[in-house]
Amino acid sequence: MATFSEPVRNPVTTHTCFQHLPLVDISGLYAPDLPTRQATARALGQAAHEAGFLYITGHPLQPASFQSLVDITRAYFSQPLDRKMQDYIGQSSNHSGYVPMGEEQFASGSIDHKEAYDIGYDYLTEQGRRPMLGATQWPDFPGFKSTVQAYYREALQLGNTLFRGFALALGLDEDYFETITLNPPSQLRLIHYPFNLAASDKPGIGAHTDYECFTILFPTQDGLEVMNGAGDWIDAPVIEGALVVNIGDMMEILSNGYFMATSHRVRKVQQERYSFPLFCACDYDTLIQPIAGLKPHRADKLYQPLYCGDHLYAQTIQTFAYLKKRLAEGQIRLPQNAQALSSFGHLTQS
């Protein structure tokens, strides 16, 4: 079952002027018969097309998995800063580890008021390692790796199911994405927004789109805001038992604009808040370009091909302080055809 807003669109976006996020029960994607999976995929596709952000229910992730993830994350972040900085992301080879407050800055110029721990695919094979793909930097903290890795694997399987749903929604073979999602640089972030009695309207995370195909988000408190087709910020409160899914840059390109990356931000709230996005990507060397046969859906946008890993790396370089410093010092350089931040979606307000 899904709920949708009136289909009134801004000329430069496929998104409607929705006032709340659609909700889709995706249990039908697990049905044994293709017609049921196709019907569910149509609902998933309609919600993604009209809003780019949606709630999903009917997924297999269990409350115990969420609670274990929250508990271990809370315990890790309760450590002193100097202990956490021993796991600093800037000392990793594949962008994994602890992210201190103020490390990230998006195109809007806002500095985030949060800390995070970034987990990668944990690619252990020596051959084929890249700047965003390699062995994860795990902290020496009891229970952290086993708990977080278990959640990562469960959420990644859900991501594979959603890839099949999006393929059906685009009229493709259900297994279209399977051969290009074998060892993806899909990142899980453990994000902590500390208690803030003096919370104001300033962002906890500035306005941005996500870089990958789509994101699966588990938040513990309200604070997420999503931009609709009119450029208004719409509240996306927590719904018990539901996960949030949103379209990212790469799915916008692949779908030739049928699905569109949605600008979003997180406002400051007084409550301590944890957020767990899994950014689902294709394999590192996948050429991201409009899928053959899909008509263009944005008259203002002609999509140029780019490589999945290069796009992730380019966007990350432009966001993280340690990589900006290396870029300025000439230690690294932006990949060829790198896109500027906020090059996708409909970002008219920040």
* Tens digit of each residue's pLDDT (9 = 90 or more) over 4-46: 333 334 446 778 889 899 999 999 999 999 999 999 999 999 9
Percent of the chain with pLDDT over 70: 89
Predicted local confidence at residue 110, as pLDDT? 59
Predicted local confidence at residue 8, as pLDDT? 39
C-beta of residue 37 within 8 angstroms of C-beta of residue 43: no
* Tens digit of each residue's pLDDT (9 = 90 or more) over 118-137: 999 999 999 999 999 999 99
Predicted local confidence at residue 323, as pLDDT? 96
C-beta of residue 281 within 8 angstroms of C-beta of residue 250: yes
Copy the structure tokens of residue 204: 């906890």
The answer, yes or no, to whether residue 59 has pLDDT greater than 90, is: yes
Instruction: Kindly report the average pLDDT of the chain as a whole number.
Output: 89
What integer is the mean pLDDT of 191-213? 76
The three-class DSSP label of residue 16 is strand
C-beta of residue 98 within 8 angstroms of C-beta of residue 78: no
* Tens digit of each residue's pLDDT (9 = 90 or more) over 275-285: 999 999 999 99
| Beta strand extents in the chain (DSSP E only) | 23-25, 53-57, 97-99, 115-119, 187-193, 203-208, 214-219, 224-227, 233-235, 243-247, 264-267, 273-280, 287-288, 306-307
Percent of the chain with pLDDT over 90: 72
C-beta of residue 170 within 8 angstroms of C-beta of residue 258: yes
Predicted local confidence at residue 1, as pLDDT? 33
pTM beyond 0.75: the answer is yes
Fold type of domain 23-328: Jelly Rolls (2.60.120)
Predicted local confidence at residue 298, as pLDDT? 77
C-beta of residue 319 within 8 angstroms of C-beta of residue 106: yes
Pairing of strands 264-267, 224-227: antiparallel
CA 166 to chain centroid, in Å, comes to 15
Whole-number Å distance between alpha carbons of 347 and 341? 11
CA 62 to chain centroid, in Å, comes to 20
Pairing of strands 23-25, 53-57: parallel
Predicted local confidence at residue 197, as pLDDT? 67
Place of tokens 């513990």: 220
Q: How confident is the model at residue 250 (pLDDT cuts 50, 70, 90)?
A: very high
Predicted local confidence at residue 336, as pLDDT? 84
Predicted local confidence at residue 200, as pLDDT? 59
| Between residues 301 and 61, the one the model is more confident about | 61
Q: How confident is the model at residue 350 (pLDDT cuts 50, 70, 90)?
A: very low
Reference 57, options 199, 190, 239, 198; nearest CA is 239
Whole-number Å distance between alpha carbons of 22 and 47? 6
Q: In sequence order, which residues have a C-beta less than 8 Å from that of residue 299 and are 6 or more positions away?
A: 11
Residue type, position 67, single letter: Q
Copy the structure tokens of residue 98: 């602890």
The answer, yes or no, to whether residue 346 has pLDDT greater than 70, is: no
